[in-house]
Amino acid sequence: MSEPLTALWSARSIAVIGASNSASALGRLPVEFLQRYGYKGTIVPVRPDGADVLGIRSVRNLADAEEPVDLAMILLSADRVPGAVDDCVAAGVPVVIVCSSGFAETGTTGAVAQAELVERARRGGTRLVGPNCIGSVGVTNRQVTSFSPLFSGDRTELVDGPLGFVSQSGALGYGAVSLAYERGLGLGWVVNTGNEADVNAFEVMNALATEPGCEGLLAYVESLDDLDGLRAVASSGLPVAVLKAGRSEAGARAAASHTGALAAGDRVADAALRQLGIARAADVEELLDIGETFAQPRRPAGPRVAVVTTSGGSGILAADAIEQHGLELARLSEETVAVLDEIVPAFGSTANPVDVTATVMSRPDLFDRALSALVDDDGVDIVLACFCVLTGKDVDDVVTGLDGAARRSGKPVLVARTGADHLAPTASRRLRAAGIPAYPTPARAVRAAAALHQVSTRREVDNTAIDSPGPTTATMNPGVPPPAHGAGESELKALLQDAGLAVPTGQLVTSGEDARGAVGHVGGRAVLKAVVPGLTHKTEAGGVLLDIDADTAPEAFEQLASLGGQVLVEELVPPGVEALVGVTASPLGPVLTLGPGGILTELVDDVALRLLPVTTEDVEEMVDQTRLGKLLRGLRGAAPADRAALVESVVRLAAVVESWPAGFSLDLNPVTVLPEGEGVRILDAAYIAPEDA
């Protein structure tokens, strides 16, 4: 096999190391499940006594296997795992799933043992999944290489479908699988990656992305620190949704204690997923709800939703959810409204949400006409049909109408059905067969539609080009080196100036008379600042004196010099809009931060984040995503500020820092944005070198 990880779902022969006949042993279960679910390949139980396992002949050693083994599962106590891994390497097994626990999840000793395990495997070119995991499933191959109790269930069936699901958590992962299968949502591929000592979730997802028939990816992850893996998944072209746990501080701490994964700052995770066009789910139910939309073939061209309902109440709830999730209630064309006017009775509504009333529902031809008008409207990207109590006799007409509308238009059609399933027991199955995702409430349908819209309209991820405005490219100098260790404000500003960024005119002075002269040089009115290493909150410490003239300069100098450092005299920059521009390290690499600066930074906590590199378009989006957009347009009669200059400066800064060694933190706050045409000035700058971070 060119991609060894495909053995996790398409193995032709599987060794079960630690296979057992004992009813209570985990080592029995994969053999039992492979048989029960009809695995067609070869099962090779491995056990020291060579006894049959559930009627299958075992081998004493892996080396005795008669044919090459694609995949080995190890279900032994932790102390016996290293030897088993060596055996797999010796036998040339490409992939081994180590189910055993007792490794990094138990503490330092376990972590060391785990690292050794990986080394043993890698030495022989064997890929290792786990340890501390529950295995994988490939539905087409009827391969259940897992010991999850899910597969013991009397009524459990594998449900095929075009989605791959990867989970770092075993118990929660298979819990989610059981919920998916119960609702009929097919997950054709399931992999639990456990401790991820070698293979991580994103690598598995990338392998799945090349699998024929796989049309969408879902994942549960606790750590998000493999940027390359994440980018590769994002650029696979498949829709992807991730449930990233550890949003809250408490959750992140719990995640750290759980699998030893350090949680990336959640905001960075959020920004990265959004930037890469990956939908983020907040819980298992939402993840599966989104999966329902990936499993149907139609993709929306935009955010405009037409709601058709038989209950005014459902329509209102749908409208509420559409606003909440950033979609739009479609404006229907005059033609559409004219058609609806003929169909909908007076006590309904022909405005979107369209309340066709129960009367229309009792006339399938009318419902079809209404639906056709909506789905054919060029202003509609998504149709949501809301029903309440749906009974068995309604189902045929409803499904036929929805199916036809979806097929003809190629637009996604979703259903919210706020009523008991048993009233129309065939409805779920029939809607699913027609590729119409169905949800119990309008809110859940809309939330899933919003995720589908997000992943369907993502921009191509451009990893290289920095699309800077033309005129400034010539003067851009991305070759500026990082600041020296311990660089102060004035060195930092000089460096930023070298990079073509605007800082106030200024100079360091060493006496009161120098200060007086310098004030003259910068225009007669100045700001004096104490430059003291380690003094980060200058204003609070009385280290900044505003509006100093030549007369007051000497006294101001003495006051600041008494703080124990140098004194910087800078031109007095007139008031403008204050921005915060920062670059900080994260497990996913450097992150650009942009938002309102100065006092507002603390007050509104309103920043946009993007992984570097960024384009001009990214930075424009960041401005609009925060209150900076509003501030720059000019509040309360203020003149518009020089947004273009701010965007250009930020793009420039992002380009400059790209060559700097990872791990630094740079904070420009405030950056004053002057009125249009007058540019920006970086009033304060702070840098923390990687070694001090």
Element (H, E) at 42: strand 42-46
Tokens 């020291």 found at: 48
Q: Give the burial string for 406-425 (b: 16+ CB within 10 Å, else e).
A: beebebbbbbbbbbeeeebe
User: Quick one: 153 or 523, whose CB is closer to a copy of itself?
Assistant: 153
- Residues 513-552, interacting with a copy of itself (CB under 8 A): 537, 539-541
Can you read off the two tokens belonging to residue 398? 């409803």
Least distance in angstroms from the C-beta of 298 to a copy of itself: 24
Q: Does 448 bind a copy of itself (CB under 8 A)?
A: no
Give the residue, chosen from 41, 186, 251, 478, that forms a contact with a copy of itself under the rule CB under 8 A.
251
Least distance in angstroms from the C-beta of 465 to a copy of itself: 34
Q: Does 686 bind a copy of itself (CB under 8 A)?
A: no
Q: Does 40 bind a copy of itself (CB under 8 A)?
A: no
Q: Does 422 bind a copy of itself (CB under 8 A)?
A: yes
CA 199/CA 130 separation, integer angstroms: 8
User: Quick one: 550 or 638, whose CB is closer to a copy of itself?
Assistant: 638
Q: Are 244 and 219 in contact (CB under 8 A)?
A: no
Q: Does 451 bind a copy of itself (CB under 8 A)?
A: no
Q: Are 571 and 582 in contact (CB under 8 A)?
A: no
Stretch that binds a copy of itself, among 28-36, 120-128, 335-343, 635-643 (CB under 8 A): 635-643
Residues 6+ apart with CB under 8 A from 579: 594, 595, 596, 597, 628, 646, 669, 670, 671, 672, 673, 680
- Residues 324-383, interacting with a copy of itself (CB under 8 A): 324, 329, 346-347, 349, 351, 353, 355, 358
User: Quick one: 508 or 686, whose CB is closer to a copy of itself?
Assistant: 686
Give the residue, chosen from 112, 546, 604, 662, that forms a contact with a copy of itself under the rule CB under 8 A.
604
User: Quick one: 40 or 537, whose CB is closer to a copy of itself?
Assistant: 537
CA 508/CA 518 separation, integer angstroms: 9
Q: Does 593 bind a copy of itself (CB under 8 A)?
A: no
CA 51/CA 37 separation, integer angstroms: 23
Give the residue, chosen from 54, 56, 179, 522, that forms a contact with a copy of itself under the rule CB under 8 A.
179
Least distance in angstroms from the C-beta of 110 to a copy of itself: 8
Q: Does 497 bind a copy of itself (CB under 8 A)?
A: no
Can you read off the two tokens belonging to residue 194? 């456990």
Stretch that binds a copy of itself, among 79-87, 414-422, 520-528, 668-676 (CB under 8 A): 414-422
Q: Does 389 bind a copy of itself (CB under 8 A)?
A: yes
User: Is residue 63 helix, strand or coil?
Assistant: helix
List % helix, strand, coil for the chain (3-state, nearest 5). Answer: 40, 20, 40
Can you read off the two tokens belonging to residue 252? 């992140």
- Listed as own residue / partner, the contacts of 535-538 with beta carbons closer than 8 Å and 24 or more positions apart are 535/563, 535/565, 536/686, 538/684
Q: Are 18 and 109 in contact (CB under 8 A)?
A: no
Least distance in angstroms from the C-beta of 257 to a copy of itself: 5
- Residues 145-174, interacting with a copy of itself (CB under 8 A): 148-150, 152-156, 167-174
Instruction: List C-alpha distances in Å: 100 to 91, 109, 130.
Output: 20, 15, 8
Give the residue, chosen from 12, 36, 142, 258, that forms a contact with a copy of itself under the rule CB under 8 A.
258
Q: Does 440 bind a copy of itself (CB under 8 A)?
A: yes
Q: Does 124 bind a copy of itself (CB under 8 A)?
A: no
User: Is residue 670 helix, strand or coil?
Assistant: strand
- Residues 218-237, interacting with a copy of itself (CB under 8 A): 220, 222
Residues 6+ apart with CB under 8 A from 343: 356, 360, 366, 369, 370
Q: In what order do the strands lie in the sheet with 240-244?
A: 143-146, 135-138, 187-192, 163-167, 216-221, 240-244, 279-281
CA 10/CA 249 separation, integer angstroms: 39
Stretch that binds a copy of itself, among 10-18, 239-247, 520-528, 585-593 (CB under 8 A): 239-247
Query: How, if at all, do strands 680-682 and 135-138 pair?
Result: unpaired
Q: Does 672 bind a copy of itself (CB under 8 A)?
A: no
Least distance in angstroms from the C-beta of 425 to a copy of itself: 9
Q: Does 627 bind a copy of itself (CB under 8 A)?
A: yes
User: Quick one: 309 or 468, whose CB is closer to a copy of itself?
Assistant: 309
Least distance in angstroms from the C-beta of 421 to a copy of itself: 7
Least distance in angstroms from the C-beta of 606 to a copy of itself: 8
Site residue total, a copy of itself (CB under 8 A): 101
Give the residue, chosen from 23, 250, 465, 474, that forms a contact with a copy of itself under the rule CB under 8 A.
250
Tokens 């090779």 found at: 44
Q: Does 510 bind a copy of itself (CB under 8 A)?
A: no
Residue type, 243: L
User: Quick one: 410 or 542, whose CB is closer to a copy of itself?
Assistant: 542
Which stretches of 184-275 are DSSP H helices?
Answer: 201-209, 227-234, 249-259, 266-275
Least distance in angstroms from the C-beta of 103 to a copy of itself: 9
Closest CA to 81 of 202, 173, 194: 194
User: Quick one: 105 or 376, whose CB is closer to a copy of itself?
Assistant: 105
- Residues 295-334, interacting with a copy of itself (CB under 8 A): 310-317, 319-324, 329
Query: How, if at all, do strands 304-309 and 328-329 pair?
Result: parallel
Stretch that binds a copy of itself, among 98-106, 513-521, 522-530, 562-570 (CB under 8 A): 98-106
DSSP 328: E
